[in-house]
Amino acid sequence: MNHILDVTGLSKSYRVDGMELSVLQDIDLQVEHGECVAIVGNSGCGKSTLLKIIAGLVPYENGQVLCNGRNITGPGTDRGVVFQDHRLLPWLTIAENVGFGLKQTPRARKQQIISDYLKMVNLDGFEKAYPHQLSGGMSQRAAIARALAGAPEILLMDEPFGALDALTRITLQQEMIRIRREQKKTVILITHDIDEAVFLGNRVIIMSERPGRILRTISIELPLERDRASSDFSYYVSRVYKHFFKDRSTNEEYNI
Amino acid sequence: MRGGAPGKITAALNTLILPIIMLVSWHIVTHFKICPPTVLPGIPDVIKAFGRQALSGQFFEDLGISLIRVVKGFLIAAVSGVSLGVIMAVSLRTNRFFKAVFEALRQIPTIAIIPLLIIWFGIGETTKVIMIAKSAFFPILLNTISSIRETPGGYLELARIYKLKPLQTYLSIYFPFSIPYLFTGLRLALGAAWTTVVAAEIVASSSGIGYRINDARMLMEPDTVIVGILSIGAVGSLMDKGLVCLEKRITPWLNK
């Protein structure tokens, strides 16, 4: 039992207008300590549902989801979540938002944690600012700080950079690499950005369209710090890419 | 012409031009005896009447009595409106339980229940406080209910992730989110409370500003009537301004 997260035979369906709609089918997923698993799939493939099940926000009926060997029955402090929208509470300052999950922590310790994590995401000096005064990228950094401040073992990220502009997205991806080097956190990253998945993941998991099944797992045998311009990087990107756009990419080759 | 000193002067002129036209016309009409003073007294007479009442202390006594009634009724409405609103928004059963009666009661003008209240409670304080509370209750109740209902699901997910207890969820999510709605309700309610106290005092009272207006009419003192009417307008606007300032002060995150 070495896996921090162990999903076996997980299926999930919703009832929509009296019809059974299957969203996830026979998901098997084992995640090791310190690993970053990137899950890629089309929108509506159930990847966000999978993340919400792991987060304990959505119940499941079939299969088993174990975190550190224990059944997941609800949210827990061992899992931190970052959503696509930053979800900072507009009435709290950035410091208060980062400390939101630290209700039980003694005051002095809490201040220390808040300032440490704000430094980590390069937001020191913005303690007293309100979320509306921050840019999208800065808000998402604060959201990451909030998720990390609770000292979770697994960081669950649901398309965390999907709403950001391209340049900010790349900056934040690079910062994630730095944070992973400092924190050695296990990360599960949901994304539809192939480049992002290959840049951040130790493994890239490709999901089918609804009902979501795991089609393929690709291990990325690259060092933690990756060069997007390298041929190895492009090799992995194109391998993932071909899973989604097989027909079109062959056509393009003929055209050239 | 936006901002800056010239902009401010234009804006002030813009606001003051109608009141000035009205005052000048009033003065012309009375000064040249186009309108007899028994119908419309001149501005100097009204100012004199105000001075007389202020000096004798009667003006402040009337105002004080009316204000205390408003505060009593308004507080009852605020406390019951907010707490019932929260419960009705959360519990469908409570909502159904009160729905029919509240919907009907809301349609009945407060004036229409005066005769019944007089039969039950006489023309004492109870009648007036009940009337004010009834008028102020519904704006507060309805705004509280919609604020709770419109709280974004994402914030509530956050409450689940950080395992907040119901009271904590109310205090750190629902309540701060509802403050702007609540103030809309409180402003409408305060306006309603103020108009109701005057109506109640005109119909059934032996004290207060509304009583003074009606009494002055019977004594053929139109200048006192006008002092009463103008001060009702002024005090009402001042109280509304006060609520707006209070809201700005306690919601620094909304001052963009």
Residue pLDDT, tens place only, A86-105: 999 999 999 999 999 888 88
What pLDDT sits at residue A218? 85
Is residue A230 assigned to a domain?
yes
Indicate which CATH number applies to the domain containing B77: 1.10.3720.10
What pLDDT sits at residue B3? 52
- pLDDT tens-digit readout, A14-31: 888 888 888 888 888 898
Residue B102 shares a structural domain with residue B192: yes
What pLDDT sits at residue A240? 81
Q: How far is B140 from chain A (nearest CA, A)?
A: 21
Enter the tokens of residue A222. Answer: 């690259």
State the Cα–Cα distance between residues B238 and B230, nearest whole angstrom.
Answer: 12
Is residue A142 assigned to a domain?
no
Chain A residues with CB-CB distance to B154 below 8 A: 83, 85, 87
What pLDDT sits at residue B160? 92
State the Cα–Cα distance between residues B194 and B209, nearest whole angstrom.
Answer: 11
- Domain range for B180 is 42-254
Closest residue in B to A133 (Cα–Cα): B256
Residue B97 shares a structural domain with residue B6: no
DSSP code, position B45 = H
Q: How far is A51 from chain B (nearest CA, A)?
A: 13
Enter the tokens of residue A151. Answer: 């000292």
CB-CB: which of A101, A130, A131 is closest to B162?
A: A101
Closest residue in A to B171 (Cα–Cα): A91
CB-CB: which of A87, A92, A103 is closest to B154?
A: A87
CA angle B54, B195, B55 (to 5 degrees): 5
* Subunit contact B253:A77, Cβ cutoff 8 A: no
Q: How far is B85 from chain A (nearest CA, A)?
A: 22
SS3 call for A71: strand
SS3 call for B23: helix
B118 burial via Cβ count (<10 Å: 0-12, 13-18, 19+): middle
pLDDT at A251 over 60: no
SS3 call for B19: helix
Is there a contact between B197 and B66 (Cβ–Cβ < 8 Å)? yes
Query: Which residue, chain included where needed, has tokens 């309100």?
Result: A130
Residue B219 shares a structural domain with residue B112: yes
pLDDT at A1 over 60: no
Is there a contact between B64 and B201 (Cβ–Cβ < 8 Å)? no
Domains in chain B, number: 2
Chain A residues with CB-CB distance to B157 below 8 A: 57, 87
Residue B179 shares a structural domain with residue B63: yes
Chain A residues with CB-CB distance to B161 below 8 A: 55-57, 75, 81, 101
pLDDT at A137 over 80: yes
* Subunit contact B161:A91, Cβ cutoff 8 A: no
* Subunit contact A77:B163, Cβ cutoff 8 A: yes
pLDDT at A191 over 80: yes
CA angle B82, B87, B92 (to 5 degrees): 140
pLDDT per residue of chain B (256 residues) written in tens, 0 to 9 = 455 667 888 888 898 999 999 999 999 999 998 888 888 899 999 999 999 999 999 899 999 999 999 999 999 999 999 999 999 988 889 999 999 999 999 999 998 988 899 899 988 889 999 999 999 999 999 999 999 999 999 999 999 999 898 888 999 999 999 999 999 999 999 999 999 999 899 888 888 999 999 999 899 889 999 999 999 999 999 999 999 999 999 998 887 5
Is residue A147 assigned to a domain?
no
Query: Which residue, chain included where needed, has tokens 């800056």?
Result: B4
Residue B196 shares a structural domain with residue B96: yes
Residue B55 shares a structural domain with residue B170: yes
Is residue A16 assigned to a domain?
yes
Four-residue CA torsion sign, B63, B66, B72, B76: negative
Supply the mean pLDDT for chain A. Answer: 86
For chain B, first and last CA: distance in Å?
21
Is residue A60 assigned to a domain?
yes
Residue A51's identity, in one-letter code, is: L
Sort strands A62-67 and A70-71 into parallel, antiparallel or unpaired: antiparallel
Residue A71's identity, in one-letter code, is: N
Q: How far is A25 from chain B (nearest CA, A)?
A: 25
What pLDDT sits at residue B1? 45
Residue B82 shares a structural domain with residue B145: yes
Is residue A251 assigned to a domain?
yes
B183: Cβ contacts below 8 Å, ≥ 6 apart: B243, B244, B246, B247
CA dihedral B69, B74, B76, B79 (to 10 degrees): -160
Is residue A39 assigned to a domain?
yes
What pLDDT sits at residue B215? 92
- pLDDT tens-digit readout, A34-45: 899 999 988 777
Residue A13's identity, in one-letter code, is: S
CB-CB: which of B160, B164, B252 is closest to A57?
A: B160
Sort strands A3-16 and A19-32 into parallel, antiparallel or unpaired: antiparallel
Chain A residues with CB-CB distance to B176 below 8 A: 89, 91
* Subunit contact B155:A131, Cβ cutoff 8 A: no
A46: Cβ contacts below 8 Å, ≥ 6 apart: A12, A23, A24, A207, A210, A211, A212
What pLDDT sits at residue B212? 92
Ramachandran quadrant class, A188 (left: phi over 0; alpha: psi -120 to 50; beta: rest): beta
Enter the tokens of residue B150. Answer: 């419109």
Instruction: Report chain B residues touching chain A, CB-CB < 8 A.
Output: 154-155, 157-158, 160-164, 168, 172-173, 176-177, 179, 251-253, 256
Quick one: average pLDDT of A51-78?
87
What pLDDT sits at residue B204? 80
Indicate which CATH number applies to the domain containing A199: 3.40.50.300
* Subunit contact B163:A87, Cβ cutoff 8 A: no
Residue A252 Cα distances to A219, A238, A246, A247, A255, angstroms: 27, 14, 10, 9, 5
CB-CB: which of B155, B161, B177 is closest to A81?
A: B161
- Domain range for A73 is 3-78+152-255
Is there a contact between A56 and A75 (Cβ–Cβ < 8 Å)? yes
B56: Cβ contacts below 8 Å, ≥ 6 apart: none
Residue B123 shares a structural domain with residue B247: yes
Cβ-Cβ contacts under 8 Å between A and B: the total is 46
What pLDDT sits at residue A247? 52
Query: Given pLDDT bands bounded at 50, 70 and 90, which one contains residue A65?
Result: confident
Query: Given pLDDT bands bounded at 50, 70 and 90, which one contains residue A246?
Result: low
Chain B interface test: which of A91, A128, A154, A155 (most B C-beta within 10 Å): A91
Residue B51 shares a structural domain with residue B5: no
SS3 call for A26: strand
Is there a contact between A187 and A154 (Cβ–Cβ < 8 Å)? yes
Domains in chain A, number: 1
CB-CB: which of B161, B164, B177 is closest to A55?
A: B161
* Subunit contact B155:A77, Cβ cutoff 8 A: no
Residue B29 shares a structural domain with residue B50: no
Q: What percentage of chain A exceeds 70 in pLDDT?
A: 95
State the Cα–Cα distance between residues B87 and B109, nearest whole angstrom.
Answer: 25
Quick one: average pLDDT of A150-162?
90
Chain B interface test: which of A89, A98, A134, A158 (most B C-beta within 10 Å): A89
Is residue A111 assigned to a domain?
no
* Subunit contact B177:A91, Cβ cutoff 8 A: yes
Residue B151 shares a structural domain with residue B217: yes
Residue B13 shares a structural domain with residue B63: no
